[in-house]
Amino acid sequence: MGLTAKIRTRDGWAVSHAVVTVTDMTGTQVLRAEADAEGAVRDATELAPGAYTVIVTAVGYAPAASSSIVTASGRAEVGTVTLARQGGSELPPPGPWTIDPVHSSVAAVAQHLGISSVHGRFAEFGGTIEIAPDDVTKSRVEAVIRAASVDTGNGMRDTHLKSGDFLDVENHPEITYRSTGLTAAGSDRWTVHGELSMHGVVRPVDLDLAYLGTGADPWGGTRAAFRATAELHREDFAMNYNQVLQAGIAAIGTTLKVELDIQAVQGDSLPQA
């Protein structure tokens, strides 16, 4: 075996489209090999003993170069090569991911009487994430929330929120979000550009997204965790109801802070319980 190597991301996941190029000390290419689906490179070409430069490239990742010494056996055991996302930004392995609503939360916070906050959540939602393999900025997110599942811990208030004054769940049962683009904002942060449809109105909404990491779960799957926030204005979605109290204080604030804690399972469906 002439060359062996494993190509991984910083999270330890295989980079299946990586290419390994080996040059001698004169800069002449002596070997070129592609990684398999497991990110492994195995090439039987025997190399003459000496010093070589090993260059690993993959679309969307910063190149990595290292020196390698080939012994009399003709082998070059490069070991594990870790690639960083171009620009230092990381995301989970490419492919489909399914949002797990049981281990995720969709919450919103509004001001009440100008002095306290009302916290609410949606109990029923789902969605998919598609991580693009070559150009991460082409990754996509789609989510659907059942509007009638709103819960603020107060039955009377929830009934009002479901009425025509606010969500109007009878005529607009779903709240949907579809991404239109992705921009890197740091080593593990992204801005997701998209369109939110709520109360029959579609508006552009950006999510400030933090990628928290990827790992195995107790059920034999692979999970990725994200946290995202956004700020919405009720009037943008034709929800203009308000009760103005004495001294001009609005009962309910016009700005909503949305907080998303998301776990997604690798694959295009959730595992059966």
| Structural domain includes residue 116 | yes
The answer, yes or no, to whether residue 248 has pLDDT greater than 70, is no
Q: Considering 64, 84, 104, which residue would you say is the last residue of a domain? A: 84
Q: Which residue has the tokens 């306290």?
A: 116
Same domain, 32 and 152: no
**pLDDT 10s digits, 47-65:** 889 899 999 998 777 889 9
Instruction: Tally the domains of the chain.
Output: 2
User: What CATH code is carried by the domain that includes residue 55?
Assistant: 2.60.40.10
184 forms beta bridges with 190
Q: Does residue 127 or residue 272 have the better pLDDT? A: 127
What pLDDT is stored for residue 166 in this prediction? 87
User: What CATH code is carried by the domain that includes residue 117?
Assistant: 2.40.128.110
Same domain, 53 and 113: no
Same domain, 38 and 99: no
What pLDDT is stored for residue 2 in this prediction? 76
| Structural domain includes residue 273 | no
Q: Determine the 3-state secondary structure of 89 from DSSP.
A: coil
Q: Does residue 46 or residue 176 have the better pLDDT? A: 176
What pLDDT is stored for residue 271 in this prediction? 75
Both tokens of 62, joined, read: 């910063």
| Structural domain includes residue 140 | yes
Same domain, 54 and 126: no
Same domain, 57 and 115: no
Q: Which residue has the tokens 């776990």?
A: 263
Residues 11 and 43 sit within 8 Å (Cβ to Cβ):
no
Percent of the chain with pLDDT over 70: 89
Chain mean pLDDT for the chain? 86
Q: Determine the 3-state secondary structure of 91 from DSSP.
A: coil
**pLDDT 10s digits, 27-49:** 899 999 999 888 899 888 888 89
Neighbours of 51 (CB within 10 A): 10
Q: Which helix (H) or strand (E) holds 157?
A: helix 155-162
CA distances from 183 to 19, 113, 257 (A): 26, 37, 21
Same domain, 212 and 147: yes
The answer, yes or no, to whether residue 139 has pLDDT greater than 50, is yes
